[in-house]
Amino acid sequence: MRALLGARAAIAFAVVVAALALLPVVLDLSPYDRNLLTLAFLMIAGSLAWNWMGGYLGQVSFGHAAMFGIGGFVAARLMMEPSPMPPLLAWLLGGVAAGVFSLGAHPTLRLRGPYFSIATIGVGEASRLVFTWWEDFTGGASGLSLPIDIALKARLYWWALGLAALVVIASFLLRRSAFGLQLLAIKADVDAAADVGVNATFSQDVVMVLSGAVVGLTGALYASFFAFIEPSDMFGFDRSIAFVLMSVIGGVGTILGPALGAIVFVLLRQFLLASYPQLYLGLYGVLLILIILFEPLGLTGLGLRALRAWQRRRPHGGAPRTVAAP
Amino acid sequence: MTSPDSATNPRSSSGAPGGDAPLLATRALSKTFGGLKAVDAVDLELRQGEILGVIGPNGAGKTTLFSLIAGSIAPTSGEVQLRGWKVSGRPAYKLVRAGVVRTHQIVRPFPNLTVAENVTVGAIHGAGRAPGPARERAAEVLAFVDLADRARDLPGTLTLAGRKRLELARALAIVPEVLLLDEVVAGVNPAEAMRLAGLIRRIRDERGVSIVMIEHVMPAVMSLSDRIVVLDHGKKIAEGAPAEVAADPLVIEAYFGKGAGGARA
């Protein structure tokens, strides 16, 4: 039953990815829609990678903008004169740089819960200040323009889709692996995890590097996508908040949740910025409070409730006794 | 079965080689909290295949002794030896991987994982890192503690006795050589207590695990233990076969106060 469900989910996933890959070929997408989709793919990758820390490990980071910014600026510098690298190599190195940088937050891993979150705000804001000040590297407040040609910009749709698909698969494998189980044990009780042989410090370091590297890679693609980046956007505190929001809206700790949350976030942001720019952050605050109060699993939780209600109405639709995170 | 891997091999630390050394030993083990000597120069030895009972009044330092042996806290002085090799000062997870596993007086299942997943986390170090063998190992241990039919449930749905059996299963999945049991039998109804006591005996008899158990339920500790160590105010005040210890005037005094021993003698 479980294997069958897994197989069906895998087929559905493959169909969705293939359909999205063919979409720009079949339909004549407007540049606006195409950009929106590309951005959504990037945010799916970033939010799922944030979720490895915040959802699987239970360490809610408010500082992931630091990794996003480092990935973006390192890749941008590597693609610029005097010796421009091929984009793929520059992006990967941006991700590696962000992964290495996130190891610098190692001391914060001794903290748990809100203490960890507060420390990550410090790391994020310190990074923003340092990189805004470091004009030789980031261009300071005026930012950097990247030499992105039209053809690369067009191909970024598929690169972003590919990255999102890989991160979905990685999230699934991580959740199913022995290592993923250890992360959930650390999330529940770090001392009890040590009592069953889990090396919590090492596991957290590994997740932090992986999460930071993927968010850095996302930032690198994002930089190329906009062809212009500035520290206040890349390292901004609302960028960090965005990673938290996407997972919380969709459902922390699940796979479908952060992906859904990213799509909703991108659409909502576009709509709100266009219609009510002054209300934009306030509405997110209200949404966040409502979700935490009434449905901690976000959209995924609402979906599960609907599914259970539907199963109860059917005479033989035996509801599962426990809820496995999808 | 649980030969320690190279990273956790006690041989990598300093200390004398021990051919005839006891499986587990503490040497003048002490822990001071501020001015309080919670554990005061305690020597004890656990032999292969033995069940060693640790008793004593509340606050005697029993649980602190376990935390020292398990590596959850570092001793102020003295040391813990596994097969003659010093292991104190190592973090808890390394001791677990070397085969010394504890359970807690207040059970601590992972509430977000199913019963089977809880046990699988332990099995990762008992059966290798591959999830397949770990799951098989977990299923086998769950059947042993009679929880196989609850594998897919969350621990919160189990009774206290059920959660205690789950905690035993999680510890067994690690394939321990030494099991430190902190009041497993206490706090459940008499029928469940009998069942848990039977389970502890089977863990030793059928699985060859050596056991140190802290227990307040006297019938259980008297019938299960091969030897008993009595702690009072952090010090070891008596040691011996259950009948000897029960008749020791010092022990009676520790439990009932001065004069009680004289009245019995």
**How do residues A221-251 score in pLDDT, each as one tens digit?**
999 999 899 998 899 898 998 899 899 988 8
The partner residue sitting opposite B121, judged by closest CB among A181, A191, A324, is A181
Question: Contacts of residue A203 in chain B, CB cutoff 8 Å?
Answer: none
Using CA atoms, how far apart are residues A59 and A53, in angstroms rounded to an integer? 5
The CA distances from residue A206 to A53, A203, B39, in Å, are 10, 5, 37
Given A177, A184, A198, which is nearest B112 (Cβ)? A184
Percentage of chain B lying above the pLDDT 90 cut:
50
Q: So what's the pLDDT on residue A140?
A: 82
Cβ contact (<8 Å) for A196 and B125? yes
Nearest CA in chain A to B151: A322
Q: What is the pLDDT of residue B127?
A: 65
Q: Using an 8 Å CB-CB cutoff, list chain B residues near A185.
A: 110, 113, 121
Q: How far apart are CA B197 and CA B191, in angstroms?
A: 10
Two structure tokens written together for B235: 């010090």
Interface with B, mutate which of A2, A110, A176, A196 (most B CBs under 10 A) = A196
Residues A195, B101: C-beta atoms closer than 8 Å? yes
Whether the per-residue pLDDT at A326 is higher than 50: the answer is no
The residue in chain B having the minimum alpha-carbon distance to the alpha carbon of residue A321 is B153
Instruction: Compare CB distances from A196 to B131, B152, B174 and report the shortest one's residue.
Output: B174
The distance of A54 to chain B (nearest Cα, Å) reads 15
Query: What pLDDT sits at residue A4?
Result: 59
Q: What is the DSSP letter of A85?
A: P
Is the confidence at residue B179, as pLDDT, over 50? Answer: yes
Mutation target to probe the A interface, by most A beta carbons within 10 A, among B95, B100, B102, B124 is B124
Q: What is the structure's pLDDT at A100?
A: 95
Per-residue model confidence (pLDDT) at position B259: 62
CA–CA distance, B115 with B158 (Å, rounded to integer)? 9
Tell me if A42 sits within 8 A of A164, measured CB to CB.
yes
Query: Phi and psi for B137 in degrees, rounded to 5?
Result: -60, -45
- Give B122 to chain A, closest Cα distance, Å: 5
pLDDT tens by residue, A282-318: 887 888 888 888 888 888 888 888 888 888 876 554 4
* Local confidence band at A3 (pLDDT 50, 70, 90 cut-offs): low
Candidates B121, B125, B149, partner chain A, best to mutate (most A CBs within 10 A): B121
CA distance B99 to chain A (A): 9
In this predicted model, what pLDDT tens digit does every residue of A90-136 receive, in sequence order?
999 999 999 999 988 888 888 888 898 999 999 999 999 999 999 88
Q: Taking CA atoms, what residue in B is nearest to A177? A: B131
Least confident of A64-78, A250-264, B117-131: B117-131
Residue type, A3: A
Among B80, B74, B106, which residue's Cα sits nearest to residue B10? B80
Residue A83 pLDDT > 50: yes
Question: A160 pLDDT band (50/70/90 cuts)?
Answer: very high
CB contacts < 8 A, A to B, total 80
Amino acid at B235: K
Amino acid at the residue A45: A
**What is the band of B1 on the pLDDT scale with cuts at 50, 70, 90?**
very low
Decide if the complex's ipTM is over 0.85: no
Residues 6+ apart with CB under 8 A from B220: B185, B193, B196, B197
Query: Worst-scoring range by mean pLDDT, A321-325, B65-69, B138-142?
Result: A321-325
Q: Is B255 on the interface with A (CB under 8 A)?
A: no
B83 pLDDT higher than 80: yes
Hey, which residues does B52 pair with through a beta bridge? Answer: B212, B227
In chain B, which among 162-181 make CB contacts under 8 A with chain A? Answer: 170-171, 173-174
Strand partners, B30: B77
Given a cut of 50, whether residue A81 has pLDDT beyond it is: yes
Asked if the model's pLDDT at residue A321 lies above 70, the reply is no
pLDDT single digits (tens) B15-45: 444 567 889 999 999 999 988 899 999 999 9
Region A193-222: mean pLDDT is 93
State how far the Cα of A235 lies from the Cα of A221, in Å rounded to an integer: 15
Per the listing, tokens 């770090």 go with: A190
| Alpha-carbon gap: A70 to the closest alpha carbon of chain B (Å) | 34
Nearest Cα of chain A lies from the Cα of B95 at a distance, in angstroms, of: 8
User: What is residue B19's predicted lDDT score, i.e. its pLDDT?
Assistant: 61
Task: Report the candidate in B115, B134, B132, B113 with the shortest Cα–Cα distance to residue B123.
Answer: B134
B74 and A CB contact within 8 Å:
no
In this complex, the residue of A184, A199, A200 whose CB is nearest that of residue B110 is: A184
- Residue B137 touches chain A, beta carbons under 8 Å: no
Secondary structure (H, E, C), chain B: CCCCCCCCCHHHCCCCCCCCCCCEEEEEEEEEECCEEEEEEEEEEECCCCEEEEECCCCCCHHHHHHHHHCCCCCCEEEEEECCEECCCCCHHHHHHCCEEECCCCCCCCCCCCHHHHHHHHHHHHCCCCHHHHHHHHHHHHHHCCCHHHCCCCHHHCCHHHHHHHHHHHHHHCCCCEEEEECCCCCCCHHHHHHHHHHHHHHHHHHCCEEEEECCCHHHHHHHCCEEEEEECCEEEEEECHHHHHHCHHHHHHHHCCCHHHHHC
Q: Is the pLDDT of residue B12 over 70?
A: no
pLDDT > 70? residue A56 = yes
The pTM score is 0.84
pLDDT at A219 over 80: yes
Residue A100: other Cβ atoms inside 10 A: 14
| pLDDT band per the 50, 70, 90 thresholds, residue A22 | confident
pLDDT, greater one: A203 or B218? A203
Chain B residue with Cα closest to A186: B110
**Tell me, what's the pLDDT at B2?**
40
Q: What is the per-residue pLDDT for B14?
A: 40
* Residue A228: strand, helix, or coil: strand
> If you average pLDDT over residues A141-145, what whole number do you get?
85
Tell me: pLDDT of A281 over 80. no
Per-chain mean pLDDT for chain B: 85
A chain contacts of residue B109, beta-carbon cutoff 8 Å:
192
- Say whether pLDDT at B255 is over 60: yes
Between A315 and B4, where is the model more confident?
Answer: A315
